[in-house]
Structure 1
């Protein structure tokens, strides 16, 4: 598999090496040893979540406060989506920078989102299904939600119509409001949250 750095430190795009034959295709979607070698952090799955969305559904930007923190290994298992990661770590040299990746079931491409980095996506197909393999179980009250349409972020969703968005995401604070409320993670001098 090919593991490539993103513009957001600690985030990676993972493209599997597919092995096709007359029956179809086989590939390794995730290897913890290779991921740990690339990231320098052990990733141990604690929970697996799926989200199924209609075309033009916008979900995110979501993260988890530290502690407990939550890294994510995100894969589109059906359909296609525009995936965006945003550095929400105050003190990071790439604070508020983002990267866009197109994920689809055919390519098997995934993204690794480290703790403290926000994540969201726009469904590009009907019945798009995304799988999140996460490093911690759900803890009520630790979710960090940022409005995905925050003009300060200016994220390139490029949705051809008004996106379908939950009330929770539509009413989520802007980055400035979240920073003023003290809910964004801080990057330590060692370079980790």
Structure 2
């Protein structure tokens, strides 16, 4: 089978940037956001259990860094359908050689890219423009008891947000800084 996505690897194994191929004519374009057969070839496991949309009104808004702990870990396919964001995934896999490293990619309506984030990563983003809209496909349903988060401004994580961090939710602002004993997520 030919995958209809151009696939870019990142410095962290399993994190992939997918460029959607657009079919364009004078009316506009169409592009595939998700195909279980094609994505299974590059790491998607299971069905789409949940699809969420988020909207951020103001540039600088940061959402994250969120994750689901095992056994409720999830794969995410993140797509920006309006505006532009810096999307960040942080490796929380306890025994990974890239533990606590992150990858940041720009996703926008114009660049037609999505970010495939495997299990064991925290995820968040910053709106680089006003009026951002995101679509997330999740491989597992949300479980409140498995929810976790890291402070998006934690210096140990080293995320260089391009704009001043603004408009954090009370929940995201309350995520703790990592201490020296942080062990990450078990596989």
- The match for 2:90 among 86, 92, 96 is 86
1:35, distance to aligned residue in structure 2 (A): 1.5
Q: 2:112 aligns with which of 105, 108, 114?
A: 108
User: CA 1:16 to 1:162, structure 2 compared with 1: closer, same or farther past 3 Å?
Assistant: closer
In structure 2, the partner of 1:185 is 185
| Cα deviations by residue, 1:67-96 (Å, 9 ceiling, x for unpaired) | 111111100011111101110111101101
What's the counterpart of residue 179 of structure 2? 176
Task: Summarize the alignment of residues 1-193 of structure 1 with structure 2, pairs less than 5 Å apart.
Answer: 1-39=5-43, 41-53=44-56, 54-159=58-163, 161-176=164-179, 179=182, 184-186=184-186, 193=187
Q: Distance in 2 between matches of 1:106 and 1:24?
A: 12
Bigger shift: residues 90-99 or 19-28: 19-28
RMSD (Å) for aligned C-alpha atoms: 1.6
Contact map agreement 1:147 1:169 (CA 8 A) in 2:
yes
Structure 1, gaps ≥5 residues long: 187-192
How far off is 1:137 after superposition? 1.1
What is the CA distance between 1:30 and its match in structure 2? Answer: 2.1
TM-score, normalization by structure 2 = 0.91
Distance 1:35 1:162 in 2: 33
- TM-score, with length taken from structure 1: 0.88
SS at match of 1:141: helix
Aligned pairs, how many?
Answer: 182
72-81 vs 23-32, greater mean Cα deviation = 23-32
Q: What is the CA-CA distance between 1:140 and the residue it aligns to?
A: 1.4
C-alpha distance in structure 2 between counterparts of 1:175 and 1:113, whole Å = 21
SS of match in other structure, 2:185? coil
CA shift, 1:177, in A, is: 6.8
